[in-house]
Amino acid sequence: MRQSFLRRLAESVVILIGVALLIFIMLRVVPGNPIEIMMGEHANQSTVDRMTAELGLDKPIYVQFFRYITGALRGDFGTSYSLGKPVSSLMRSAFGNTLKLSVSAAVFAWVIGILCGVLSAVRAGGPADHIFMGFSLMGVSMPVFMTAMVLQFFFGYYLHWLPISGSGSWRNFILPAIALGWNSAGAISRLTRSTLLDVLQEDYIETARAKGLTETTVVLFHALRNTMLPVVTMMAIQFSGMLSGAVITETVFSINGIGRLSVLAISGRDIPLLQGTVLFSTAVVILGNLISDSLYSVLDPRIRREA
């Protein structure tokens, strides 16, 4: 178990370095000189040359990469061309907002998703099932920007209950959390429902019933844990996706998070910032997978022993 975890960890580091290298090369082969963009159209050639040398962009690419990696290990990701601030501090403050958004969206998605899924499964075919599954289907099929705008219009503009945009107080995060969370709540509840329905057909559920346990106990203590095996994997992957920046939600609600920072980096051709955000997102997704695998083996004793 520990050994396989360490092997996975080593693999993750290799993947991360690979992604860094790929990004590094790609950003340097696309046309357009970042210095010229940064200086504006009318900069004279000598200034451009001086800046290029200052930023080390005249060095061979492997030297640049080596410098970047050694810097990154010390927490230095360079300075943003467009914002003029260290990438690391920009990302740190953006990550605070993304974290708030992701956690609230995930809590919403998990509570609502699992609740809807379980209730639908135990009342399969009944009216509650249809209502919850309709709600879930809307969640997975409506584009996030549309949900976001409907919520903004209704609760912000029309009812004046909640702020439409910004990230100043916790109240700012309620609507974005719902907009972002509804989508994953839908996916979670559908997976929970179908898995639980399968699990309830298993022989050991009949054994549990034959012991004289009530149906509620059977569902909560025998079926749910087995149902959660695939659901937990999905939750971890969704959560790491949110943490790596919910571009649309952050943009629509003007939340200064990782997603918005990436958009800014792309539109400004801000190479250090873009490298930073992409690398960060990759790391988060890899970590999410690692955690979901570990959780899986905690929940499932069969895997625990084999690994």
| Residue 215 binds to another protein (criterion: CB under 8 A) | yes
**Collapsing DSSP states into helix, strand and coil, what is residue 79?**
strand
| Residue 204 binds to another protein (criterion: CB under 8 A) | yes
Contact range with another protein by CB under 8 A, out of 53-61, 126-134, 202-210, 286-294: 202-210
Task: Between 60 and 212, name the residue whose CB sits nearer to another protein.
Answer: 212
Contact range with another protein by CB under 8 A, out of 83-91, 149-157, 180-188, 209-217: 209-217
| Residue 299 binds to another protein (criterion: CB under 8 A) | yes
Task: Between 157 and 204, name the residue whose CB sits nearer to another protein.
Answer: 204
> Contacts from 238-242 at CB under 8 Å and sequence distance 24+?
238/106, 238/109, 238/184, 238/187, 238/188, 239/102, 239/106, 239/288, 240/284, 240/285, 240/287, 240/288, 240/289, 240/291, 241/285, 241/288, 242/98, 242/101, 242/102, 242/105, 242/106, 242/180, 242/184
| Residue 123 binds to another protein (criterion: CB under 8 A) | no
Nearest to 32 by CA among 213, 271, 259, 280: 271
| Residue 67 binds to another protein (criterion: CB under 8 A) | no
| Residue 127 binds to another protein (criterion: CB under 8 A) | no
| Residue 209 binds to another protein (criterion: CB under 8 A) | yes
Asked whether 88 and 273 are in contact (CB, 8 A), the reply is no
Please report, as ranges, the residues that interact with another protein according to CB under 8 A. 202-204, 206-215, 217, 222, 225-226, 299-302, 305
